[in-house]
Amino acid sequence: MFLLLFFTMLESYSQTPITFPLYLQKGDTVAIVATARSFQPEDLGPAMDSLRKWGLKVVLGKTIGPEYHQLAGTDKARARDLQNMLDNPSIKAIWAARGGYGTVRIVDMLDFTKFRKNPKWIIGYSDVTVLHSHIHNMGIATLHATMPINVKRNSEEAIQSFKRALFGKGLKYTVPSRVQNRMGAAEGQLTGGNLSILYSLLGSPSAIQTDGKILFIEDLDEYLYHIDRMMMNLKRNGYFDNLKGLIIGGMTKMHDNSTPWGKDAIGIVREIADAYDFPVCFDFPAGHMEDNRALIMGKKVKLTVNKDTVSLEFEDRK
């Protein structure tokens, strides 16, 4: 009886206490900012049309338009723009315009004091994984979803999942299974994002926490041996030891050398995952793809991997 109580307490403590920002309502304001690469206002049409069609107002940050080499302004300018939106009580969600690289250069310049007291949805994926992981460690949920740069190419399923997540509607995905999956069921908080970004954050205050959780990873434009290197680092640092489940999204536009690595991305991940017994699914529709479904990071989910289907259901209550 004592051991049962001990392990029950251990599992509960492994979960990060999560605060959920208020879900959006018609009339709320969404800010669009560029935390990394530059983004031009003429490319915002489809994204702004969608928000306005849903009854939302849009405010553009001062980082939409400027170019500082590859970036949307200097580090100080990008940090100041995001800080203003974090502190502005009339802004209910902040949507990163695009990814690329650069968010990690400003995360330590930010003051999250007001944000902690009045959290709002931080939205994006790819390089925005810096904010997902950093804010997850504060105990605040974020939204891994499409960005304005992608809206015109996204599937209808991706756009509708984004809308449902923003407005607090239930999320449950059922997708075809594949032979490389490992069957099973698990429950836990969802965490993760872009593998390269997660790898780059290890050892910092923004580093991922995976104990008792379900990990989602995806990546783009990487060499296969880099995928192996990053997965091996996660393994050697114990990030899979107490994991409940593993979801692999898009492993898009992978590269190989003239002498092949010998495994594709799925094979690399599966080889490492074979040392554990948690359920694993591949090709989940999230990441650098048209069908990029919304994921609420920090929310408790149930992952069920069967022979024919994979389901991911988000808990209704906070």
Q: Is 222 annotated as catalytic? A: no
Amino acid identity, residue 247? I
Q: Within the chain, what is the greatest distance between any pair of CA atoms?
A: 64
Q: Which of 126, 161, 177, 206 is flagged as catalytic? A: 126
- Residue 206 tokens, joined: 């923004």
Phi then psi for residue 178, to 5 deg, are -135, 160
Q: Locate tokens 């939205």: which residue?
A: 123
Q: Is 134 annotated as catalytic? A: no
Q: Which of 38, 161, 177, 218 is flagged as catalytic? A: 218
Tell me how crowded residue 180 is: count the other CB atoms within 10 A of its CB. 16
Q: Within 13 Å, how many C-alpha atoms sit on residue 98's CB side?
A: 18
- Residue 136 tokens, joined: 């997850």
Q: 19, 141 in Cβ contact below 8 A? A: yes
Amino acid identity, residue 206? S
Residue 47 to residue 49: CA distance in whole angstroms: 5
74-91: b or e for each residue (b if 16 or more CB lie within 10 Å)? eeebbbbbbbebbebeeb
Three-state secondary-structure class, residue 172? strand
- Residue 316 tokens, joined: 């209704």
Q: Measuring CA to CA, which residue among 21, 63, 70 is closest to residue 44? A: 63
Q: Is 126 annotated as catalytic? A: yes
Q: Which of 132, 134, 144, 288 is flagged as catalytic? A: 288
The residues annotated with a catalytic role in the active site are 126, 218, 288
